[in-house]
Structure 1
Amino acid sequence: MKNIIKIFMALALMVSTTGCEDYLETSSSDEISADLMYTDVSGAQFVLSGIYRDMRDATSNTGGGVLTTLRHCTSVYGDEMATVRIGNSFNYWCDHDYNYDLINTTSSVPQLNWNYFYKLIANCNSILENIEAANGEQITKDHISGQALAIRAYSYFWLVRMFAPPIDTELGVPLYETVDISGAPRSTVGEVYTKVIEDFNTAIGLLEGYERPDKHYINKEVVQGMLAYTYLTHEEWALAANMANQARQNYPLMNREEFRSGQNNENLPEWMWVIKQQEDQRQNWSTLLKFWGTYGGIDNNYKTWSPRFFISANLASKIEPTDVRHQFYDYKEQILEINDTDTIFFTATDKFWESYREEDYMMGDVSWMRGAEMYLIEAEGLLRSGDPSGATTVLNELQITREATPTEATLQNILLERSKELYGEGYSYFDLIRNDLPVIRTAPQRAYTGMPAHDWSWIQQIPIDEITTNPFINEIDQNPIEGSYK
């Protein structure tokens, strides 16, 4: 049966649930068959544009379902951010992530996350299956294929970290290389990482010489950054350091003025990969510029329903007042209450600053990868691969640029520097898991509970729909809901 792709005016490719159902919908008068869609490379570019649209999409769904929301919610598991009650309202974006209660099949979030990444994978596979037969220059085909491979690998990288513990012999997620996603067994974590790394390396070669229209598109250096983070997560330390060094060469660290500009402009030289906002594709309440306790996030006009996550007092206290990254202020109004009687002050941050505070406070670009992350990956990779001197040199370069006191590159210092630099950008959850660290929360927090390392509550369960419809996965393959995976 021919693969059918539904074309929407918004360039978004919509998909159905996983298992035996087809991802690419097949029942609309707007449909055209794959052999017509891919007659020319312009058809493949059209599909790729739809994939990018899905990647920058936004939603108000609690805890997940799109990449923009996930990057918020994976920032709240540890002690970097604090959430509060305002009046009679609690934060609803990522609130359940904060309390570790989204992992099981009674929650809609595992299903949302599973479907979201597998629809990206299915649509990337559609391109990769068909593009070679399309009319057009080979270099154009290579550049489109390289981006599709990178997005597929990036999707699997997210899936394997959310739905499996960081142990190569444990069950991971199903691997598909075709549009036909009619069911497959869970590959091991090690097998998934092997495929992810292979795809990233192939994409790097295909994207050689690709000049992207703007930073929203994935180029060779972005894929090198993705691969560096993958190597770091998979404990391939020397490879991580080398790849991060290659990735960052054209992205110099922001100076004081650039860092404090509000981080809302793709033209910042350190930014490597950007989600651009424009009038017809606004992220609105899902944007980082609204999310993290900035001015718009604590404006009295929005006190009853705007998300309220603030930098934790513990982390803020570790950033020196002379540090470029120290731009905090206490929010002391009575609406910030932990319970009915106790009022507490929280520390707001200007790290993500609205473009036009008085006017268009939710517009502005958002960085998904920047040079500072590459410095931190390189430093950690060098340290863990036996080069502490080299690690210290790289770490100090970042610290001196941020006008912070240079330190020796111990693992503790590097991880602290990651928190100082990357809080709110989607790394806390994964840094805790990959380093076998528990959550230990400090006051002021709405909840003082923590989470032990290696607890299955870190790992999402396989969605019940997948178990029901995929003939290769059943209840015996399900992730436990409690206990330790080590």
Structure 2
Amino acid sequence: MKIFNRKLQYPILGTVLTAVLFLSGCKKEALQKDPSDKINTEVVFASTENAYSAINGMHRLMYSQWYSNQAAGGQSGNMIYMEVLGDDFVMTGAANGWFNSEYKWISHRDANSSINQYNYGFYYALIGNANQIINNIDGATGPEEDKNFIKGQALSYRAWGYYQMVQLFGKRYVKGGNNSGLGVSLILDKSTTAVERNTVEEVYTQINKDLDDAIALFANASGRPDVSHLNIDVAKGLKARVALTQQDYVTAAKFAKEARADYDLMTNAQYIGSFTTAANPEWIWGIRHREDQPTYFYSYYAYVGNFSSTNTRGNPKAINSLLYDKISDTDVRKRVWDPTGADKTFPVAASGVRMPYMTRKFTLSNPGNSNGDLMFMRAAEMYLIEAEALARSGSEAAAKDVLMELAENRDPDYVLSTNTGASLIEEILTQRRVELWGEGFRFYDLKRLNLPLDRNGANHIASLAVEFSIPAGDKRWEFLIPQGEIDRTLGVVVQNPL
């Protein structure tokens, strides 16, 4: 069966067939096929029961393989790409070659690379499916609460997809500045013609509208059956992320606090070994991996963790040694990495090498299977957004209190911060780097903060990393538009500066 696929051409968005993928377990090759208009949308949207299958299909896309690319296992591909492009995630060996070119800052500046194809096609495919749900669900038969729940999820997916893309393919957003540079093309319905790229400002305007509409719908929606489904907490968490990126700190603090309200922080005992299971109390949004839907070597855990793959055996991922040294000895998070590489009790992939500063953050309980639940949003992130936003908006006392809640949970010896101004913000950002290591935020954070890439003085290996310094604002902070898109739209979609 066929589903939507951006396929690096302007989308001719047909009917929603993600439902078929989810229910029938079609082969992964279906993801490489073009859209089909042969199945009537009236069938998919005849009832909310059918439409539930469509939204479930979107969830499945979040951990499906794309373009037969082993490194593009749904959202996990983006998460790893965003880490290897940063400074805190260290590659310790070349292994089988995956992510080496990205680590060197080569691939995302190649218009024909797989990283650009994936990050462009994956998010547009989700957006295309979301569009079909948004534009057809109102006519389905079924409870209004179910319609609101389904539509709210689709709007959240569309907002999130555009948010991910505009940060990659557009320039950094500057509050009060000139955001008229090109972002990505806004597609909100079925389209058969190429459309020029919208401005960064226009894309963010649409993102916020979708999230506001989703939050309103979720307020009168049925409850979600699982953490894999997006709900009002996810929409508010996304709103907080977007506001932080746009330097709208009052909005960021408000929605981050609301998003985390019903979620508990992990205990210290839970912190070690709980990052691969949806039973983690902090998870606001994530995928609960079904055992009958294996991910093999395109899983996140085939690259980061103790699953024994050629990559994990020869390239255990490590933390930046300078960042590690900033962690208090009484902080539970310091136990997530082995600075010596010699601790025989430290989990390692079967037959794998041990390296200094290697991680055990993403340890599978069954390392013989790459299946593992995968998180996309958790409460700790919301504490950090709230603290940063409060500090930047002048509410330093409140920022310290919020930071205290998180930090003393991780470190029983932590005391209320006495830092102020830039020092307080730096403390919060350091906490963020440690807490969210490996979860797909670092490239985005460096770009939104207008910081340079700086891998100097740490444990990055020169032959592997190659690039140690990239100035803030350099054109290399923008991904190139895939050349296939430019060719197939006959230049309507234009390239970023080369």
Verify same fold: TM over 0.5. Answer: yes
User: What does 1:80-229 correspond to in 2, within 5 Å?
Assistant: 80-85=88-93, 89-103=94-108, 104-167=110-173, 168-208=179-219, 209-229=221-241
Distance in 1 (CA, whole Å) between partners of 2:207 and 2:294 is 31
8 A Cα contact 2:112 2:484, kept in partner = no
8 A Cα contact 1:100 1:458, kept in partner = no
Partner of 1:339: none
Distance 1:384 1:273, change over 3 A: same
- Secondary structure of the equivalent of 1:412? helix
Distance in 1 (CA, whole Å) between partners of 2:226 and 2:446 is 33
Letter of the 2:53 counterpart: F
Distance in 1 (CA, whole Å) between partners of 2:103 and 2:13 is 44
8 A Cα contact 2:13 2:128, kept in partner = no
- For structure 2, which runs of at least 5 residues remain unmatched after alignment? 1-11, 174-178, 344-352
- Secondary structure of the equivalent of 1:279? coil
Partner of 1:450: 469
8 A Cα contact 1:4 1:32, kept in partner = yes
8 A Cα contact 2:95 2:314, kept in partner = no
Number of residue pairs the alignment of both structures matches:
452
User: What does 1:330-369 correspond to in 2, within 5 Å?
Assistant: 330-332=340-342, 345-357=355-367, 360=368, 362-369=370-377
Q: How far off its partner does 1:49 sit?
A: 1.5
Q: How far off its partner does 1:305 sit?
A: 6.2
Fraction of identical pairs, as percent: 31
- For structure 1, which runs of at least 5 residues remain unmatched after alignment? 18-22, 334-342, 482-486
Letter of the 1:458 counterpart: W
8 A Cα contact 2:107 2:115, kept in partner = yes
- Give per-residue Cα distances to partners, 1:73-101, cap 9 Å, x unaligned: 2012222111122xxx5353322221111
Moved more, 123-132 or 145-154: 123-132
8 A Cα contact 1:440 1:450, kept in partner = yes
Partner of 1:51: 58
8 A Cα contact 1:173 1:187, kept in partner = yes
Distance in 2 (CA, whole Å) between partners of 1:472 and 1:134 is 39
Partner of 1:467: 486
Distance 1:306 1:473, change over 3 A: farther
Letter of the 2:260 counterpart: R
Letter of the 1:186 counterpart: R
Distance 1:65 1:462, change over 3 A: farther
Moved more, 445-454 or 435-444: 445-454
Partner of 1:336: none
Letter of the 2:231 counterpart: N
Moved more, 275-284 or 223-232: 275-284
Distance 1:144 1:346, change over 3 A: same
- Secondary structure of the equivalent of 1:331? coil
- Secondary structure of the equivalent of 1:405? coil
Q: Structure 2 residue aligned with 1:396, among 394, 399, 404?
A: 404
Distance in 2 (CA, whole Å) between partners of 1:148 and 1:177 is 12
Q: How far off its partner does 1:405 sit?
A: 2.8
Distance in 2 (CA, whole Å) between partners of 1:2 and 1:272 is 30
Distance in 2 (CA, whole Å) between partners of 1:313 and 1:2 is 47
Matched, 1:34 2:41: yes
Q: Structure 1 residue aligned with 2:78, among 61, 70, 74?
A: 70
Partner of 1:430: 444
- Secondary structure of the equivalent of 1:109? helix
The TM-score normalised by the length of structure 2 is 0.84
- Give per-residue Cα distances to partners, 1:412-441, cap 9 Å, x unaligned: 111111111000000100110011111111
- Secondary structure of the equivalent of 2:251? helix
8 A Cα contact 2:265 2:409, kept in partner = yes
Distance 1:252 1:366, change over 3 A: same
Distance 1:92 1:182, change over 3 A: farther
Distance in 1 (CA, whole Å) between partners of 2:48 and 2:107 is 41
Q: How far off its partner does 1:471 sit?
A: 5.3
Q: How far off its partner does 1:4 sit?
A: 4.0
